[in-house]
Structure 1
Amino acid sequence: MSPQMELVAITLDCPDPMALAEFYRQATGYEPHPKSDGEFAGLNREDGLFMGFQRVEDYRPPSWPGQTVPQQLHICFRVAESLDAAEARLRELGAGKPEHQPLGDRARVLTDPAGHPFCIVIR
């Protein structure tokens, strides 16, 4: 029998933990972790999932879809609204949109302000 595991945390490297936490707070509505500071920031989801952001000196953003600097992690989020509406809101918050969009109308690939790629998909 294989071990049972539950995902409880995801942590992203970045140059500015507080700024990236604020981007994801506005995008997701997750609550700020009370012990966030300039070196590490976090968000809590109601079900206990923790999303962390840690400062890395000389941070280099992923070069998706190229692999000069590999992405190493790709997060997907379901959105309740249309992809167009969700994309517009996220871009207002500072998300980027790579030219390469491999999933057609099923999903959108965006990048957070630190360059990490993530997808949005319809519920």
Structure 2
Amino acid sequence: MAIRGRERRGWLGVVLGAPSARELAYFYRDLLGWELATDEPDWCTIGMPDTPVNLGFQTETNHVRPVWPAGPGDPQMQLHLDLQVTDLEGAAQDAAALGATMAEFQPQEDVRVLLDPAGHPFCLYR
């Protein structure tokens, strides 16, 4: 069943909250090489080329960084992004140069878990 009124080529996106929508949008724009589609102080989007898939970023003044891996009572991540790369170590270094930090806990040898500037985990994998 499809949602009534939803066009096949409509906007589809995942939205991440952050203390600064622009800061986080610019981080992912530079990390992924996607173009900004919307650039406002509290709402930005970047779009995956040739698709209706977007990442949205909204300013949340009370943003609390998720903890990863979370323990009892910790702020939980709501989602994470998985990004396939060919050079795992090089991609992790590039992400760190843009402002990501390597998570202390790394669960797999062929995956690198990093935290974006707002604390959202994302995974680089081969």
| 1:117 Cα deviation after fit | 0.2
Higher share in strand: 2
2:59 to 42, 55, 60: 55
Name the structure 1 match of 2:79.
73
Q: State, as a whole percentage, how many aligned pairs show the same letter.
A: 32
Instruction: Tell me the residue number matched to 1:41.
Output: 44
1:40-92 alpha-carbon deviations (Å, 9 max, x no partner):
01101112211000011111110111240000111100113x11100000000
Q: Any stretches of 5+ residues in structure 2 without a counterpart?
A: none
Alignment map for 1:1-123 (pairs within 5 Å): 3=1, 8-33=12-37, 35-46=38-49, 47-67=51-71, 68-80=74-86, 82-103=87-108, 105-122=109-126
In 2, distance between residues paired with 1:30 and 1:111?
A: 19
State the 1:8 CA deviation: 2.0
Change (3 A) 1:110 1:4: farther
Query: C-alpha separation between the residues in 1 aligned to 2:65 and 2:98?
Result: 18
Alignment root-mean-square deviation, CA? 1.8
For residues 23 and 2 of structure 2, the distance between their equivalents in structure 1, rounded to whole angstroms, comes to: 34
Change in Cα spacing, 1:77 to 1:4, as seen in structure 2 (3 Å) is farther
> How many positions carry a matched residue from both structures?
117
Matched residue of 2:123: which SS? strand
SS in 1 for 2:90: helix
Q: Give the structure-1-normalised TM-score.
A: 0.88
TM-score by length of 2: 0.86
2:101 alignment partner, SS class: coil
For structure 1, list consecutive stretches of 5 or more residues without a partner in the other structure.
none
